[in-house]
Structure 1
Amino acid sequence: MNLLTTFAFYVVPFVIVLSVVVFIHEFGHFIVGRWCGVKVDAFSIGFGPEIYARVDRHGTRWRIAAIPLGGYVKFHGDANGASVPDPESVAAMPAAERAVTFAAQPVWKRSAIVFAGPFANFLLAIAIFTGIFAVYGRTLLAPRVGSVVAGGAGEAAGFKAGDLILTIDGVPIPSFSKMQEIVSSSADTRLLFVVRRGDSDVTLPATPAWREVSSAVGKVRIGMLGLKASTAPADVREERYGPVASLGLAVEETWQIIGRTGSYIGGLITGRESADQLSGPIGIAQISGEMAQAASKVGLAPFLNLIALLSVSVGLLNLFPVPLLDGGHLLFFGIEAIRGKALNERAQEVAFRLGLAMVGTLMIFSTYNDLARLIERLAGGAS
């Protein structure tokens, strides 16, 4: 029973979340490839043994595989689903067949096809957030301090319960979430707050401190003051939005997530962020299960929100200039556009092998992190 419960609560939601994100990503490559006149040999969700397959009228084999940890689109003339070129195979093709291969397309078409995957992930996030804002609206809290965490940066700055935050560095603050948005991106930065306390306005300089919080890609560090919002009825309001306003808010929300995720990944590269907080498949499965259980109580919004967050993360990660990822291909195409010719086969082969090693190492490392946290959690529960 425990095994069945674990499967239902964690594995199924994880497969749903990952399959949706992967399908949209690969469909971006697929549809733009079709628009550019490239033949698609296969569209696969998952890797390994084939569970289901059918061939459409264009000759594309649509398949579902047994290992639901990704997917790929294989274009005609490529050696595999990672768009690694197969020059010998392409050279042996008749001219008409060669014309519909990925390798035969001009640089701008190949770039558009590759970029379409991450771009589709961003569009998915925008679509989901638009739906959430249009259907559920959002609850906004007034920028009033309900309580101050003892020992936090807010207490050190002199904040008190009941303070109404008016401005931060001269920027008007309409809601508590707007205050959090500014504070989270301003760790170790001195900010000047103007708050209304009773009948007078008080100026408080404060420096947010680094704190770790959970995200779709693992734990990230953000700035926090240790201020909790007031939940008094007078400080809570529900807002509803039409389609246009919902779309605008969705674009803004997606852009903020791109900024936070990009900052975290950049922090990993520079050493500012700790790589031991990176999550892999097990961590994502755990979060998926928790959001699915929350959805059973409060509706689909938390689960859909997770799909949007993961979609942005996948899109952004794929744009990093690592060989084997979309960003690596775009880097090669940029070099080709500048040089007037592609890198030689040997250089590309070495780069792809290096990229495969980097991606594989990242997967192993993130899975190790997940297992270490899971063991720590189980040990803590047992004690």
Structure 2
Amino acid sequence: MIESPGFLFTVMAFLLVIGPLVFVHEMGHYLVARWFGTRVEKFSIGFGREIVGWTDKRGTRWKVGWMPLGGYVQFKGDMNAASQPDPELAKLPEAERDGLFQFKPVWQRFLIILAGPMINLVFAFVLFMGLLGTYGQAQNPAVVTALQEGLPADEAGFELGDRVVAVDGRAVERFADLATYVSLRPGQEMAFDVVRDGMPVEIVATTLDVTEADRFGNEARIGRIGIYGTAIEMQPLGIAELPGAAMDQTVGGLEMIVVGLGQIVSGQRSIEELGGPLKIGQISGQAASLGLYAFLVFMAMISINLGFINLLPIPMLDGGHLVFYAAEAVRRKPIKPEAQEWAFRMGLAVLLGFMVMVTVIDLRSFDLW
């Protein structure tokens, strides 16, 4: 087991992950807002008291807050950092409404808010392209070269030389695809389409539900069936192959999140498996200590997480705003300010409760009690 890096190294690694990702997210909002002629009052990385800042020639205050757990873009006319509309704006004469976010067409407001989460997904896609083009991708085929006796694959009838071509109807080309699919689904029955001596064979096996520790001692529940492939062969991809492979990696990252959350909601996984900012900080340091490749892969996955979470339909998050704008487009009039106010309050309560819960889970994972 590798000893975890020191506190200062971990803090720096966490800031190097979260800082650029928050900047990228908020820059998505900012750029599309500027494209549509929307006036931006504040662009903040972090919350709370300003540590450093400056005001540009357009009147936008660029600043860094002392609490590095997010950021925001505040448009002209917003009541607060959550872009909650100011009801008093309705009294403004037409001549004074130019450039105010609340008076932009609903489709423009929708795209301005959507740009934040989407640029996080694009950022992950670009990172994966760079990694796949530089470090390469494991190309070993999904062929069984070894079986662990007594485990599900052995008991279900797998044989050496079997090539897995699909799992639950999903095509498989590389052994890494097979391993990822199986590991995400502990204790689940799966149908494997296999080619054996040129003939198709279908094998049904139920994955083991095991808890394994990584090199730092972090434990995770995974599925296992007990098959092994050839040695990993990393091969850099060509220009034509990069976009498709990077898209597969990005979609795969989203799938990991959706499957994991679905298992928690359905009770297949414990809520204790969630991680909050403290856990992200810890793993940031551990990933950085393993080298640039591990650190950038981790950064790409956190970017995907950030994009996904912000798309959840919770008021205070981007997804909540998108729901309001979608409803406005259908109703052809905005949601009443009173209803939005209550929604924002409930959303804030949900987010604060969630943050407290994951922080307690994080502290318990550190064996503080």
Does TM-score exceed 0.5, indicating one fold?
yes
Short-chain TM bin: 0.7 to 0.9
Count of matched residue pairs: 360
SS in 1 for 2:287: helix
Alpha-carbon separation, structure 2, partners of 1:368 and 1:159 = 43
Alpha-carbon separation, structure 1, partners of 2:348 and 2:240 = 42
Alpha-carbon separation, structure 1, partners of 2:219 and 2:262 = 14
Deviation of residue 80 (structure 1)? Answer: 1.1
Match of 1:167 in 2: 165
Match of 1:242 in 2: 238
Match of 1:136 in 2: 135
State the TM-score, normalizing by the size of structure 1. Answer: 0.85
Which ranges in structure 2 are unaligned for 5 or more consecutive residues?
none
SS in 2 for 1:327: helix
Deviation of residue 62 (structure 1)? Answer: 0.6
Match of 2:23 in 1: 23
Which ranges in structure 1 are unaligned for 5 or more consecutive residues?
none
Go from structure 1 to structure 2 and tell me whether the alpha carbon gap of 1:347 and 1:203 turns closer, same or farther (over 3 Å shift). Answer: closer
Deviation of residue 171 (structure 1)? Answer: 6.9
Match of 1:98 in 2: 97
Match of 2:83 in 1: 83
Alpha-carbon separation, structure 2, partners of 1:72 and 1:213 = 38
Go from structure 1 to structure 2 and tell me whether the alpha carbon gap of 1:211 and 1:340 turns closer, same or farther (over 3 Å shift). Answer: farther
Go from structure 1 to structure 2 and tell me whether the alpha carbon gap of 1:350 and 1:172 turns closer, same or farther (over 3 Å shift). Answer: closer
Go from structure 1 to structure 2 and tell me whether the alpha carbon gap of 1:361 and 1:339 turns closer, same or farther (over 3 Å shift). Answer: same
Go from structure 1 to structure 2 and tell me whether the alpha carbon gap of 1:266 and 1:36 turns closer, same or farther (over 3 Å shift). Answer: farther
Deviation of residue 191 (structure 1)? Answer: 1.1
Match of 1:124 in 2: 123
The answer to whether residue 329 in structure 2 is matched with residue 331 in structure 1 is no
Deviation of residue 221 (structure 1)? Answer: 5.8
- The answer to whether the Cα contact below 8 Å between 1:219 and 1:278 also exists between their aligned partners in 2 is no
Write the letter of the residue equivalent to 2:278: I
Go from structure 1 to structure 2 and tell me whether the alpha carbon gap of 1:361 and 1:102 turns closer, same or farther (over 3 Å shift). Answer: same
Match of 2:74 in 1: 74
State the TM-score, normalizing by the size of structure 2. Answer: 0.88
Deviation of residue 209 (structure 1)? Answer: 3.8
Match of 2:63 in 1: 63
SS in 2 for 1:191: strand
Matches within 5 A, 1:1-383: 6-88=6-88, 90-91=89-90, 93=92, 95-145=94-144, 147-149=146-148, 152-159=151-158, 162-168=160-166, 173-184=172-183, 188-194=188-194, 196=196, 204-211=203-210, 223-231=223-231, 236-295=232-291, 300-375=292-367
CA-to-aligned-CA distance 1:176-195 (integer Å, 9 cap, x gap)? 11322443466623313436
Go from structure 1 to structure 2 and tell me whether the alpha carbon gap of 1:211 and 1:359 turns closer, same or farther (over 3 Å shift). Answer: farther
Deviation of residue 20 (structure 1)? Answer: 1.2
Alpha-carbon separation, structure 2, partners of 1:189 and 1:123 = 34
- The answer to whether the Cα contact below 8 Å between 1:165 and 1:173 also exists between their aligned partners in 2 is no
SS in 1 for 2:62: strand
Alpha-carbon separation, structure 1, partners of 2:58 and 2:350 = 35
Alpha-carbon separation, structure 1, partners of 2:310 and 2:212 = 23
Alpha-carbon separation, structure 1, partners of 2:245 and 2:22 = 24
Alpha-carbon separation, structure 1, partners of 2:199 and 2:120 = 48
Identity %: 37
**What's the Cα RMSD here?**
2.8
- The answer to whether the Cα contact below 8 Å between 1:146 and 1:230 also exists between their aligned partners in 2 is yes
Write the letter of the residue equivalent to 1:282: L
Deviation of residue 322 (structure 1)? Answer: 0.8
Go from structure 1 to structure 2 and tell me whether the alpha carbon gap of 1:137 and 1:91 turns closer, same or farther (over 3 Å shift). Answer: same
Alpha-carbon separation, structure 1, partners of 2:171 and 2:260 = 27
Go from structure 1 to structure 2 and tell me whether the alpha carbon gap of 1:214 and 1:43 turns closer, same or farther (over 3 Å shift). Answer: farther
Alpha-carbon separation, structure 2, partners of 1:20 and 1:214 = 29
Go from structure 1 to structure 2 and tell me whether the alpha carbon gap of 1:45 and 1:228 turns closer, same or farther (over 3 Å shift). Answer: same
